[in-house]
Amino acid sequence: MAINSVNATRSSNFVIGSEARVFAGHINDLNDFYLYTSWSYKKVFNLAPQFTEAFSKESTTSAQLNETFHVGDYCACTINDKDWDRGVIRQLDSNGFATIYRIDYGDVQRIRVQFLLRLQEWMFQTYRLAHHCTLSNIIKPINGWPSNVIDEFRAQLNRSNLYARFLNYNEIREISEVEIRVKGSTKTVNKDFERYQMERSVVQINDQHVYQNISMEILDCTRPNEICMLYYISPTRFYVYLKEKFDSHTSFQIDLQKSMQNLHTLSSPVKYQVIAVQDSRALWHRAVILDVRDNLSNICVYVFDIGHIECITINDIRQLPQEFLSKPAFAIPCRLYNVCPINGNEQSIWKLDDKVHDKFIRLMVNTVNCKVCSKQDKICYDVEIDIPKVGDLGAFLINNNLVSHATMGYSPRSNFSSGQPPQQSLVRPQFLSYGILPSRERQQQYRPTQQLEFYNNQNTMVQQLQTRTFNTGFQNTTAQQSSSTLSSIGSLLTIGTYDGYYIITKIRSVAEFYGLSQNRQHEFEVLSKELEQYYNNSVNNQSLTVPVILDGTPCVIEQHDKYYRVIIKHRENGSKVLVKLIDCGDEIVVDTSELLQIDKKFCTIPAFVQTFYLHGYDESQNSVNITRNLKKLLLNQWVHIAQQGLILNGRYGVHVTLCDNRSVNKMLLSN
């Protein structure tokens, strides 16, 4: 029977905000336990005898005994040879055992397949009786909850007259966030365990290597995105998913469960290895290893499609089949734009008992719209969220004195004379301090609709290229090309540099480094999406072969599920060529079979990065140490660029100022 066609596949739905008397069921920990309402508590005691009676009246045929079961099938199972319960098959072993998740109890049992029976049709007509729950606003420590804390929690839930308020239901994780209290008490059980949770800043991921094998899902920077909450840590780190991806993710998870049968445990797991991990319901999830203890007792992993970090044992991990690497991570890391703890700044740590956590969770119960303001070092989206009947979430929290307006502070760097290594922190681009406006205020400036029309209209693009004037800030430069030479030299066009704010993307030396202007960042994101849509469309496959491999030929390559415009610099040897990524500044060697023919509409857009050198340098200063220090100061940072001096070999002499107003030229070239 299809998994989503029967009531037994779901718990009964509570009205968000409603309160009911509850009874404790199976308890794994504070973020993974089961509750019964008064009705379901009585029902669970009556259902098993009803099943047992029904099966005892039915004669078991040889066909039933030899019936074939599959992963995902619902079945009747027994663990004491007396009472029958409902379950779903999570795994089928080659030795004749099945791993069963008992839907009315919440536990997992290993049972011989020969003791399983098909559920009769009437047995599907009752919802799952055990409600899967987590304590709202309580973050699980990375190393898990200590056993004494779990024992204390069990003791609390075994008391009589317990009431639970259902604050939210996570459809992906199939879990309700609840607040529990004893009747008549104003203090919640949640409050009692608040002190045991870990600092919220500890459980967030800031490592770009995490996504080197499974890419991040993309939020559209040109329009509002419909999102739902997936996993909350704080207003400056939470995980969402795109509502439109729900059905495809559900199908993907079903396929993953079926593929994870009879796979062996890993003997030598290593850092950044992509794996599958099993949760308490015997479901498999994609994850990446962050740390491995010497004795393999604890393996720290990040779960891609949920967004949380936890430590597990080696028995709960398997090699992830290759076909499940291509789909982007379902969980999208976000932070609320331009907010910080009350009376704090960007470096302040959120308090465990901060009132904003509860309010944030309660407001994010439904599908909401978000707009992207920026992206923090390719890891985390800065977003504005629009809540129905509330409006802008950030403004609401600020107006209610739950958060403060963030003042963008300078991220400390190493003092080069101290001999101390630089701090390994991923710094959010300093948008506000540079006068960069939030997304709502930027829309008039960027006019994304017109940009998309420009990219999609080849005639317009050709006309723009043939006679296009670029306002450089210093002079007006007109680039004129004939349409016959469009495909060969169009992508060599660049826009002259101008004073402003740039993110530094590549550093070769003080005589050559690259930056992307803040004014063109949005345009670059639009182009990236257009490239992805075009080259992932199978209709275009027949015209992608590059006919002639010549120096200076523009092409497209795919790297880590992203597409980049490149120029062929020269052949290396055999089938290898050196190419330059014109929108990043990188140079890499690729095989000629990786080169894709560039469509002419992508040739008309000038290269996004500018090439700079530090004004005032001479060759005697171009040393290893000065290049290393330049990288520590500038790489992936937003800085102010002002043109000074001559243009040498296509590179602009510039003066660079950090966000704390320190002059890079003076720091590195003063001696």
What's the CA gap between 260 and 237, in Å, rounded?
A: 31
pLDDT band at 401 (very low <50, low <70, confident <90, very high): very high
Indicate whether 88 pLDDT > 80: yes
pLDDT at residue 495, rounded to an integer:
58
State the CB neighbour count (10 A cutoff) for residue 661: 8
pLDDT at residue 49, rounded to an integer:
84
Indicate whether 394 pLDDT > 50: yes
**Same fold yes or no, 7-190 and 199-440:** yes
Overall average pLDDT of the 42-69 stretch: 73
Phi, psi of 200 (to 5 degrees): -65, -25
Query: Is domain 199-440 given the CATH code 2.30.30.140 in the classification?
Result: yes
pLDDT at residue 7, rounded to an integer:
55
Indicate whether 105 pLDDT > 50: yes
pLDDT at residue 203, rounded to an integer:
58
Greatest Cα pair distance, the chain, in angstroms, is 95
3-state secondary structure of 97: strand
Indicate whether 561 pLDDT > 50: yes
pLDDT at residue 125, rounded to an integer:
81
pLDDT tens by residue, 459-496: 333 333 333 333 333 333 333 333 333 334 343 455 55
Overall average pLDDT of the 56-72 stretch: 67
pLDDT tens by residue, 510-531: 889 999 988 888 888 889 989 9
User: C-alpha 381: how far from its chain's center?
Assistant: 9
What's the CA gap between 409 and 481, in Å, rounded?
A: 46
Query: Is domain 7-190 given the CATH code 2.30.30.140 in the classification?
Result: yes
Overall average pLDDT of the 358-366 stretch: 91
pLDDT band at 497 (very low <50, low <70, confident <90, very high): low
Asked if 584 and 514 touch (Cβ cutoff 8 Å), the reply is yes
Indicate whether 404 pLDDT > 90: yes
Overall average pLDDT of the 410-435 stretch: 34
- Contacts of residue 603, defined as CB under 8 A and 6 or more positions apart, other chains included, come to 465, 486, 487, 490, 491, 554
pLDDT at residue 460, rounded to an integer:
38
Asked if 130 and 105 touch (Cβ cutoff 8 Å), the reply is yes
Average pLDDT, the chain: 80
What phi-psi label fits residue 473: left (phi over 0), alpha (psi between -120 and 50 degrees) or beta? left
pLDDT tens by residue, 216-236: 898 988 889 999 999 999 999
Indicate whether 263 pLDDT > 70: yes
What's the CA gap between 529 and 451, in Å, rounded?
A: 12
Overall average pLDDT of the 259-273 stretch: 85
Asked if 472 and 575 touch (Cβ cutoff 8 Å), the reply is no
Question: Tokens 């003042």 sit at which residue?
Answer: 407
What's the CA gap between 55 and 117, in Å, rounded?
A: 9
* Percentage, residues of the chain above pLDDT 70: 79
Nearest residue to 320 (alpha-carbon basis) of 263, 281, 270: 263
pLDDT at residue 146, rounded to an integer:
92
Indicate whether 626 pLDDT > 60: yes
Structure pTM? 0.61
pLDDT band at 457 (very low <50, low <70, confident <90, very high): very low
pLDDT tens by residue, 168-212: 888 888 899 999 999 989 899 999 998 888 666 655 666 678 888
Q: What is the CA radius of gyration of the chain?
A: 29
Beta-bridge partner residues of 611? 514
pLDDT at residue 647, rounded to an integer:
75
Q: What share of the chain is helix, strand, coil (3-state, %, to 5)?
A: 25, 35, 40
Q: Is 184 exposed, middle or buried (0-12, 13-18, 19+ CB in 10 A)?
A: exposed
Q: Could you state, in order of their start, the residue ranges of all structural domains in the chain?
A: 7-190, 199-440, 447-665
Fold of 447-665: SH3 type barrels. (2.30.30)
Give me the DSSP letters along 485-534: GHHHHGGG-BPPP-SEEEEEEEEEETTEEEEEEGGGHHHHHHHHHHHHHH
Asked if 23 and 41 touch (Cβ cutoff 8 Å), the reply is yes
Indicate whether 159 pLDDT > 50: yes
Residue 536 or residue 621, greater confidence:
536
What's the CA gap between 257 and 285, in Å, rounded?
A: 9
- Contacts of residue 650, defined as CB under 8 A and 6 or more positions apart, other chains included, come to 494, 611
The single-letter DSSP state of residue 123 is G
Between the ranges 114-123, 443-452, 617-626, where is the mean pLDDT highest? 114-123
| Whole-Å CA distances, 190 to 180, 352, 573 | 7, 12, 65
